[in-house]
Amino acid sequence: MATQIYKMKAIQKVVALADKLQHVFVATADSKGLPHVAAAGKISLVSNGRLEVSSWFCPSTVTNLERNRRISLVVWDAAEDTGYQLVGEVEKVEESAFLNGYAPEVEGSSPSPQVERQLLVRVDKVISFSHAPHSDVEE
């Protein structure tokens, strides 16, 4: 029980840092282990040990999660060299918004994602993340 409370406090610190920074790195891998990193803007604490990650995820992230539900989220303040890596599993992928209509600002650029998604992530481990030497021991 004490371990769960400690983990929840660590997750709350991660969410607060992500809220301040307004970015989260999302790492997935396909069924063969080929990695892919994307960025999201927001994470929210949903329930005990579960986070919601929202973004217009690129197709590679979505395809990877269809085949391999394991995920790593990194929230890192480069200026302060402090951060966290959350390791867990995506329990649910939910479509929350659809691109609807003409968007002149994206015309002529590479195709943009058409669907905003929310990932429900069960956090298994919270690990410190920094440039400085660290041990990858769970928070």
Q: What is the pLDDT of residue 70?
A: 97
Mean pLDDT for all residues in the chain: 86
Q: How far from chain centre, in Å, is Cα 81?
A: 19
Dig out the tokens for 6 from the structure.
Answer: 């400690």
Residue 90: predicted pLDDT: 97
Q: Is the pLDDT of residue 5 over 90?
A: no
- What is the secondary structure of 100-122 as a DSSP string? -S--GGGTTSSPPPSEEEEEEEE
Inside any domain, residue 32: yes
Q: Is residue 135 part of a domain?
A: no
**Is residue 51 one of the residues assigned to a domain?**
yes
Which CATH number do you get for residue 90?
A: 2.30.110.10
Asked, for residue 136, whether it belongs to a domain, the answer is no
Alpha carbons 117 and 124: distance in angstroms, whole number: 21
Between β-strands 24-29 and 82-98, what pairing exists: parallel, antiparallel or unpaired?
A: unpaired
Count the domains in the chain.
1
User: Is pTM beyond 0.95 here?
Assistant: no
Residue where the block lists tokens 């058409």: 114
Which of 72, 93, 73, 87 lies closest to 7, judged by CA? Answer: 87
The domain in which residue 61 lies consists of 2-128
Taking residues 50-79, report their average pLDDT.
93
Residue 112 lies in a domain: yes
Assess whether pLDDT exceeds 80 at residue 109: no
